[in-house]
Structure formats: C-alpha cells, structure tokens
Amino acid sequence: MERNFRKNLREELDYQGLTVKELAAKSEVAKGAIDSYLGKQASMPPADTAVRIANALGISVEYLLNGQDIRGQNTPYFSSPRKRAFLRIYDELAPEDQKLAYDFILLLKKNRNTRI
C-alpha cells in the first residue's frame, strides 16, 4: 500500500486525538498550511516544516513522509494507529492476561490459515 504525507498526517492526528489547530500551535506551523497538506490538492511541506510537524507529533520525518522508518523499512509499531493502540492496550494488561491475549491471537491466526 502506498503511503503518503497526507494520509500519514491524518492518521497521526486521529491517533493522537489532535486537531489541526492544536498541531499548528505545537509545531508553530500555520493552521492554513497544515490544512493545505491535508486537503484534496495536498501539497508537500518544505523539509523544515515537515521536521517541525514530525517533532511536534513525536514521530520521525521518514514515517510522516512515507510510513517507513529511517532505514526504509516498514516500521511495524508505527505502521498504523490501530496497531499502536493494540500494543498500548496489551502493555497495560497484567502478564497473565497478556498470555491469554497472545494465545487468542495465535488461535485466530491458526483458524484463518485452516479455512478453505
């Protein structure tokens, strides 16, 4: 799946529960500029602006630009807000519940692999 700045930025804002106005204040990038990066005719920001936005979001510029980490590899932890939320919830579970969750996922995977 091709990743792009607009999609990554939108997903990150949604994941972090930030508004464009909040990101603008945090990154010191004009709200109108951020709106233009998220709009239908999405434009790419200059490098210094992308760095400020990424820093404000606490993510790498590489992830923000193309959904990949600095080595050009897909970063499993950052690959989607849903995966990050899942891992955050998993980390909050007691060790015995983590084992149950892990066993359940293995069972789901096994079930999917045996379906015709």
How would CATH label the architecture of 5-78?
Answer: Orthogonal Bundle (1.10)
Q: What is the model's pLDDT at position 112?
A: 81
Specify burial of residue 101 (Cβ count, 10 A radius: 0-12, 13-18, 19+): middle
Domain ranges in the chain are 5-78, 81-114
Which pTM does this prediction carry? 0.62
DSSP alpha helix (H) spans, the chain: 5-16, 20-27, 31-38, 47-57, 61-66, 81-92, 95-114
pLDDT digits (tens, 9 = 90+) for 18-71: 899 999 999 999 999 999 999 888 788 999 999 999 999 888 888 888 776 554
Lowest mean pLDDT among 6-10, 83-87, 88-92, 98-102: 83-87
The rounded mean pLDDT for the chain is 83
